Amino acid sequence: MSNQHQSQFVHRLFSTIASHYDFMNSLLSLNQDNYWRNCLLEKLPLTCSHTVLDVCCGTGKLTAKIASRLGPQGKVVGLDFCQPMLDQAAALLSSHPNREAVELMCGDALALPFADHTFDHVVTAFGLRNLPNVQQPLAEMYRVVRPGGTVLSVELAKPSLPLLKQLYFFYFHHLTPLLGKLKMGRDGFYSWLPESLKAYPDQAEVAEYFKQTGFKQVAFYELTGGITAIHRGIK
Ligand SMILES: C[S@@+](CC[C@H](N)C(=O)[O-])C[C@H]1O[C@@H](n2cnc3c(N)ncnc32)[C@H](O)[C@@H]1O
């Protein structure tokens, strides 16, 4: 699939599943998705006056968590290229006590609509795997974060423990598409998950991409036996 075709496919996919996304995400991750986002937040050196960009913010779950930690001078921008996902985010955030600190924006992770060094931190949760490559979005995140700022990504990874690895691949290759089909009533949508996972580099390779982009103090942390990993880089 060419980059353009992949982006169009991903856009159509998330436009179609937007209203089911949160439910399916919790179901398929056995309710671990919130825990994984919380782990990312724990690694973010956030103060209440910081500005943060949440790339591929989707339905705004991580954006909302960040907003809860900000004060009157702080700001979080949730960016996604899929308006139906942003509509879900807007609904979630409409009753947020710190709604004023949040801006939702339609935009492309491959060409972020911000000047260089705009944000104190840039984060993304389950975003990188859905993009046509890792290098371009990382370069964009690097560009828009200020020197000394942190970029964090939490994403599905590849466990190495033999039994867990087999269970994990069985789960994602066979059960996930089946559960997706039961919920959506048609084939295909949740086949993207195992396909994208297969194409996505493993955690050590992703760390290499962070280094090649120019990030310093690159580290990754495996969660839940390596099912998920958080990558960190400092500009
Ligand atoms: C798996 S969802 C993750 C949503 C959310 N961050 C979360 O924690 O659940 C991936 C999101 O990436 C968005 N996305 C994919 N490609 C994108 C692009 N090129 N630019 C911006 N957003 C994109 C999709 O629209 C979707 O909302």
Separation of alpha carbons 108 and 180, rounded Å: 26
> Residue 131: CB within 6 Å of ligand 1?
yes
**Best mutation site among 80, 108, 123, 223 for ligand 1, i.e. most ligand atoms within 8 A of its Cβ?**
80
- Separation of 163 CA from ligand 1 center, angstroms? 30
Tell me: pLDDT of 180 over 80.
Answer: no
> Residue 125: CB within 6 Å of ligand 1?
yes
Q: Show the tokens assigned to 81.
A: 């290229």
pLDDT tens column, 34-92? 999 999 999 999 999 999 999 999 999 999 999 999 998 999 999 999 999 999 999 99
The architecture CATH gives domain 3-157+202-234: 3-Layer(aba) Sandwich (3.40)
- Separation of 57 CA from ligand 1 center, angstroms? 6
Q: What residues does each domain of the chain span?
A: 3-157+202-234
Separation of alpha carbons 68 and 18, rounded Å: 23
Separation of alpha carbons 75 and 177, rounded Å: 37
> Residue 52: CB within 6 Å of ligand 1?
no
> Residue 63: CB within 6 Å of ligand 1?
no
pLDDT tens column, 128-161? 999 999 999 999 999 999 999 999 999 999 988 8
Cα 120 to chain centroid, rounded: 18
* φ/ψ of residue 115, rounded to 5: -70, 165
Residues facing residue 135 across a β-bridge: none
> Residues 186-191: contacts with CB within 8 Å, 24+ apart?
189/13, 189/16, 189/17, 190/24, 190/28
> Residue 46: CB within 6 Å of ligand 1?
no
